[in-house]
Structure 1
Amino acid sequence: MITATLTNRRSLLGLKELGMDEIASILDRAAYWEASSNKLEPALQGKFIANMFFENSTRTRFSFEVAEKRLGAEVLNFAAAVSSVQKGESIYDTVRTLESMGIDAGVIRLKPNGVLADLATKIKVPLINAGDGNNEHPTQALLDLYTMRKQFGELRGLTVSIIGDILHSRVARSNLYALQKFGANVQFCAPASMAAPELGAPLVTMEEALKADVVMLLRVQLERHEAGMMGTAEAYREQYGLTTERASRIAPHAIIMHPAPINRNVEIDDELVEHPQSRIFTQMQNGVPIRMAVIERALN
């Protein structure tokens, strides 16, 4: 019988509490799956996984689905917009219903903070966090770490600048928690209205941020902003966007990253998205083996 403790250990709710060795094992297993020449592996044949997205997603949802199908799992896709949630059903009742139907694991994205941690104490199947509120997005950070490790060989000693909407960013939080465990130096660059001083990372100027080994831009999350918080997109680009002029000043060995979706010509100029130093589409590609490793960890 699977105990609640074991189920919780197989869940992936965030990286803040996950040890460096556990994170490294996920990265190593992802490398195994990336190197596999087989498009389909029946490692999870007979297992049922529900993708439960209570908030919109494209990259994350499809990346998980590709990963699940590559592992041979049966995939159930749930979208809140066409579900009983629209009739007033609670998130707990929805997840509990799917659990009752016999799913073996759930991938879940939620808009409100705090709900996922509470759900995990009540649900008996492993849950994988696909982004919860402004809290964490662990698989995005794992694929970011994987991308950096492939580029530089190791993470220790790297300087990583995360630029943009730190306040609303679960990506920034998960990257900070994970990178610090590996001895990387994480620094933030953001307008005062988008900073998160409680996270403890140093806040640097744009000029200083461009000197890093990794220049990571964040999406300006317009849907989370209060009116007037950001000003105009043009003003943001002028002060904090990676323009072609600014990109000319980054080091030759440095890489450009972005979790996407991208507001082109706001966080980053259009012609830089596929610049030789950009790893934006490489990040998306790396999402599949990372999520294969995370799903396998949950179910094996």
Structure 2
Amino acid sequence: MSTSTLTQRSLLGLKDMAREEITELLERAGYWEARPEKLTPVLQGKFVANMFFENSTRTRFSFEVAQKRLGAEVLNFSAAVSSVQKGESIYDTVRTLESMGIDAGIIRLKPIGVLAELATRVKVPLINAGDGNNEHPTQALLDLYTIRKQFGALQDLTVTIIGDVLHSRVARSNLWAMKKLGMQVRFCSPPSMAARELDVPYVTMEEALKSDVIMMLRVQLERHENGEFESAEAYREHYGLTVERAASIAPHAIIMHPAPINRDVEIDDELVEHPQSRIFQQMQNGVAVRMAVIERALG
């Protein structure tokens, strides 16, 4: 496969993806969601490896369901039980699986920059399932797909992403894609969780609640040992989507969260399945979106 074809079929991030390509993937996800049958074996005879060098349950299962619905043969690789624990490099592992004949690789890893380098050294398309705090493109695509299903269009919608932006790959991928699609993106976070290198306005929690889309991020207070908040309760009080705060959002607005969820920290338990919540719909939409991405990777 030529370098240009590999680049076209790989999905390393949304920062450098054209608006038209993003829209095409959303359209194709709509096609797959509308298919009544669970199995459409268009990728029969293709081998796809899920290479997770960082733990994940939700994302890996979503990719695996998408792969199996397309009829692909799935190989699941976990770093916790692999030679990587014995000192083998990520590159060696990927090259080993490539040598065995895989047709595409889904990769999640912690180090930033490794995936982009890997993509130049292997000859199969790679799909980013999350790399460090850099990007999580399929999560952003499923978020966009969910929003578009709700509102019919994306242009001029206001989205506020609330929480630990500093460590969030979801916030970054959404930011890059949403701006290309004409959406207004704002962040709301404690100062210690802000990503000031990103060109995004920060708003207060009160202002955030006036958005069309209120997207909560999972907060990991252990990453901020010297931050403003000593407890989950203190974080919830200042930046959590509480029942009281949710009462003030517009009737048309929706609540989102990339999951996993810390109930009663960034979002109150009873709001997770609130009529305006789209959290479980996001997970449902992730399968169709990943079917579109995998289909693109394998031509």
So what's the TM-score if we normalise by structure 2?
A: 0.98
Q: Contact (CA 8 Å) 1:158, 1:185: kept in 2 or not?
A: yes
C-alpha distance in 1 between matches for 2:289 and 2:24: 11
Partner of 2:278: 279
Gaps of 5+ in 1: none
Once residues 180 and 46 of structure 1 are traced to their aligned partners in structure 2, the CA distance between those partners, rounded to angstroms, is 38
Contact 2:192/2:224, CA 8 A, preserved across alignment: no
1:122 paired residue number: 121
Q: Please report the RMSD computed on the Cα atoms of aligned residues, expressed in angstroms.
A: 0.8
Say yes or no: does 1:154 pair with 2:153: yes
- Cα shift at 1:222: 4.4
Overall identity of the aligned pairs, in %: 77
CA distance in 2, matches of 1:190, 1:61: 28
Partner of 2:257: 258
1:175-214 aligned at under 5 Å gives the runs 175-214=174-213
Match of 1:90 in 2: 89
Q: Is the 8 A contact 1:164 1:194 kept in 2?
A: yes
Query: Gaps (5+ residues) in structure 2?
Result: none
The 5 A counterparts of 1:1-300 are 2-222=1-221, 225-229=223-227, 230-300=229-299
Distance in 1 between residues matched to 2:220 and 2:35, nearest whole Å: 36
Look up the equivalent residue of 1:228 and give its one-letter code.
N
Shift of residue 258 of structure 1? 0.1
Amino acid at match of 1:199: L
Where 1:44 maps in the other structure, the secondary structure is: coil
After TM superposition, give the deviation of residue 45 of structure 1 in Å.
Answer: 0.3
8 Å contact kept, 1:168–1:221: no
Letter in 1 for 2:264: N
Q: Deviations over 1:145-187 (max 9, x none)?
A: 0000000000001000100000000000000000000110000
Q: List per-residue Cα deviations over 1:180-225 (Å, max 9, x = no partner).
A: 00110000000000001211110000000000000000001346x1
SS in 2 for 1:29: helix
Question: How many residue pairs get matched?
Answer: 298
Q: Is the 2:46–2:102 contact (alpha carbons within 8 Å) kept by the matching residues of 1? A: yes
Alpha carbons of 1:73 and 1:37: their partners in 2 closer, same or farther (altered >3 Å)? same
Code of the residue aligned with 2:226 in structure 1: it is G
SS of the residue 1:231 aligns to: coil
Contact residue 53 and residue 107 of structure 2 kept, 8 A: yes
| Runs of 4+ more than 6 Å apart | none
How far has the Cα of 1:231 moved from its partner?
2.7
Contact 1:166–1:172, Cα closer than 8 Å, also in 2: yes
Amino acid at match of 2:54: E
The answer to whether the Cα contact below 8 Å between 2:221 and 2:232 also exists between their aligned partners in 1 is: no
CA drift at 1:227: 2.4
For residue 286 of structure 1, give the secondary structure of its aligned residue in structure 2: helix
Cα drift, residue 9 of structure 1 = 1.5
Give the counterpart letter for 1:118 in structure 2: E
Distance in 1 (alpha carbons) for counterparts of 2:224 and 2:206? 28
Paired amino acid for 1:123: V
Tell me, in whole angstroms, the C-alpha distance in 1 between the residues paired with 2:230 and 2:49.
Answer: 39
